[in-house]
Amino acid sequence: MELMICSAARWLEDGAMVVVGTGAPCAAAMLAQKTTAPNLTLLFEAGGVGPLLPRMPISVGDSRTFYRGLMATSMADIMETCQRGMVDYTFLGGAQIDQFGNLNSTQIGSDYQHPKVRLPGSGGANDLGSLCWRILVLTPHDRRRFVERCDFVTTPGYLTGPGARESAGLPPGTGPYKVITDLAVLGFDDATKRMQVESLHPGITLSKVRERTGFELLVREPLESTPAPEPATLEILRNEVDPLRYIIGRG
């Protein structure tokens, strides 16, 4: 979990705007803000804009998401800001993700009226995934999540491939960017929009990543190794971002 959070924080550049939820995405944004991106602007779905988080919030409406913020506004204003093309990144997740970065947080099973499992649904995920410039996904890596075809597309990635997102009326240039798992960092091939392995975490082999993926992965050359977190970065993560071990665990 620490490696995933540190890896995600590296993709958030100084001066960017990012919509985050609670959990690991919030930890990654907080870590970036306290290290390499002090001017990173965090937005929360419930209306907090630009807070300097003192501690890990437990929900998107936690009072800490407004602490020393730029604005205390509403969900409507957050979504409007995304619609206007002003938000660089959003963190999303789901029970399933396919090779084009489509996400499912609605159901397991193809029958909508009688699914095997009913999941929480979209919330703001579809809006954020449709309107923010780049989607970042933090997720464990296993075959149940990385599937050939999502049982339900809650949040559009590149849909069926090149041009499909734009044909559906979504803003050109938006879409999935990085998928950060406990095994690797994955991106998307520019030509095919298919998911590709870009770096392997220390001690992880490409065969293990493929073994835990339910579709054929592309591999970017040269395949890199994910940098291990610096001790100073881990110190900040453990003692300033998540001292109570809500996210990184108590072990």
Which sign does the torsion angle of CA 181, 140, 21, 238 carry? negative
Q: Count Cα atoms within 13 angstroms, Cβ side, for 101.
A: 34
User: Cα-atom radius of gyration of the chain, to the nearest Å?
Assistant: 18
**45 catalytically annotated:** yes
**Active-site choice (45, 80, 211, 240):** 45
Q: Count Cα atoms within 13 angstroms, Cβ side, for 57.
A: 26
Q: Count Cα atoms within 13 angstroms, Cβ side, for 120.
A: 10
Q: How far apart are CA 110 and CA 126, in angstroms?
A: 19
Label each residue of 182-234 as H, E or C: CCEEEEECCCCCCEEEEEECCCCCHHHHHHCCCCCCEEEEEEEECCCCCHHHH
The angle formed by the CA atoms of residues 154, 190 and 44, to the nearest 5 degrees, is: 40
Q: Count Cα atoms within 13 angstroms, Cβ side, for 96.
A: 26
* Residues taking part in catalysis: 45
